[in-house]
Amino acid sequence: MSRSASSAPALHRRPAVRALRSLLAGLLFALCTLLAISPPVHAEDFDYRLQPRELAPGAWVVVGLKEDFSFANGGNIVNTGFIVGSEGVIVIDTGSSKRYGEQMLAAIRRVTPLPIVLVVNTHQHPDHFLGNQAFPRATLAALPETIAAIRSEGEGFNANMYRLNGDWMRDTEVVVPERALAAGRQRIGGRDVELRALGGHTVADLVVIDHDSGTVYAADLLFHDRTPTTPHADIARWLAALDTLEGLPARRWVPGHGEPATDLAPLRQTRDYLGWLAQTIRAGAESGQDMTELFQTPIPPRFAGLALVNEEFRRSVVHLFPAAERAVLEAARAKASR
């Protein structure tokens, strides 16, 4: 196969991107004029228009879109947060790009002049750590497994994010956090904060509890009206982590994707979907279905409100079916050889 032949589809796509940009700009303009709302992102000036919301005194969140990464949204599809104590600021995830990190820091500065004392990356996925460049290196911290994963997979993630988000990613580089976090409750920045080391969405998922306000920053252990994603998931462990979360004395929940909540709706949604997903994949493997047949599984109507449910379900089949299939087929072989 020749290089020139192989690049043909990419060449064809470039004019479409340009057409897309102008179309999109026009659409956005029309929409904004019509509805008199401010756009969530603005592709011309690469401004994410980050607007921190104070959920409780000192407990802030920056809510992203319930979408997939794209040039249109610049990767602003994640919730980040920060906690302002009496002496300093704790930052929870840094967003999807250098620009996001810089704009997040600027947004924090509009709220408080206090120093940044701790910046955590809740887990290894790129929308949670690619803004690290904007923050002081010594403040960057994560669970040890997360640090290892960012070190080994970060570059691959970053390359993919450039492809997905285009020029929004300019100058973004992987900065691996150096400080390894341990679970525990302590005063940080003058605030009563607890770190919990859970897992299941990825190998390690950090939960930050702000006891002063009763706010639980659950990161991607919780999705709200947005379908959970599973490329590094261990569903059984994730479900166990949800049980742990449910036992926390929380007054409000910040999911990794979707609106914050003052009730258990995000937790129940995430649990319901993951339970159905695991059962569907297990049943498919046990009944001898092929992966392409499993793709056709009807999605129950109760999940219709989860953004991207059709796309994410099929991705999850690709992620999770091979292990389920392997378990069924290896058990059958063990039985046959007895």
How many residues interact with other proteins (rule CB under 8 A)? Answer: 68
Q: Which is nearer to other proteins, 58 or 64 (CB)?
A: 64
* Helix, strand, coil in percent for the chain, rounding step 5: 45, 20, 35
Contact 45, 54 (CB under 8 A): no
Q: Which is nearer to other proteins, 60 or 71 (CB)?
A: 71
Query: Which of 255, 300, 256 is closest to 277 using CA atoms?
Result: 300
**At 175, is the secondary structure helix, strand, or coil?**
coil
Residues from 303 through 322 that contact other proteins (CB under 8 A)? 308, 310-311, 314-315, 318-319, 322
What CA–CA distances, in Å, run from 258 to 91, 99, 182, 224?
18, 21, 27, 5
To other proteins, the closest distance from the beta carbon of 56 in angstroms equals: 25
Q: What string marks each residue from 245 to 284 as x (binds other proteins by CB under 8 A) or -?
A: -----------xx---------------------------
Quick check: 295 binds other proteins (CB under 8 A)? yes
Contact 166, 146 (CB under 8 A): no
Q: Order of strands, edge to edge, in the sheet holding 59-62?
A: 53-56, 59-62, 80-84, 89-92, 116-120, 140-142, 179-180
Quick check: 235 binds other proteins (CB under 8 A)? no
Of 43, 61, 78, 84, the one binding other proteins (CB under 8 A) is 78
Of 102, 205, 212, 220, the one binding other proteins (CB under 8 A) is 220
Part of the chain binding other proteins (CB under 8 A), chosen from 20-28, 38-46, 98-106, 205-213: 20-28
Contact 205, 228 (CB under 8 A): no
Quick check: 49 binds other proteins (CB under 8 A)? no
Distance of alpha carbon 133 from alpha carbon 155, whole angstroms: 14
To other proteins, the closest distance from the beta carbon of 84 in angstroms equals: 26
Q: Which is nearer to other proteins, 23 or 30 (CB)?
A: 23
Contact 125, 93 (CB under 8 A): no
Quick check: 191 binds other proteins (CB under 8 A)? no
What CA–CA distances, in Å, run from 323 to 242, 273, 327?
22, 19, 6
- Residues 6 or more apart whose CB falls under 8 angstroms from that of 263 comprise 253
- Site residues for other proteins per CB under 8 A: 1, 5-6, 8-9, 12-13, 15-17, 19-20, 23-24, 67-72, 77-78, 125-128, 153, 155-157, 159-161, 163-165, 220, 229-232, 256-257, 287-288, 290-293, 295-296, 308, 310-311, 314-315, 318-319, 322, 325-326, 328-330, 332-333, 335-336
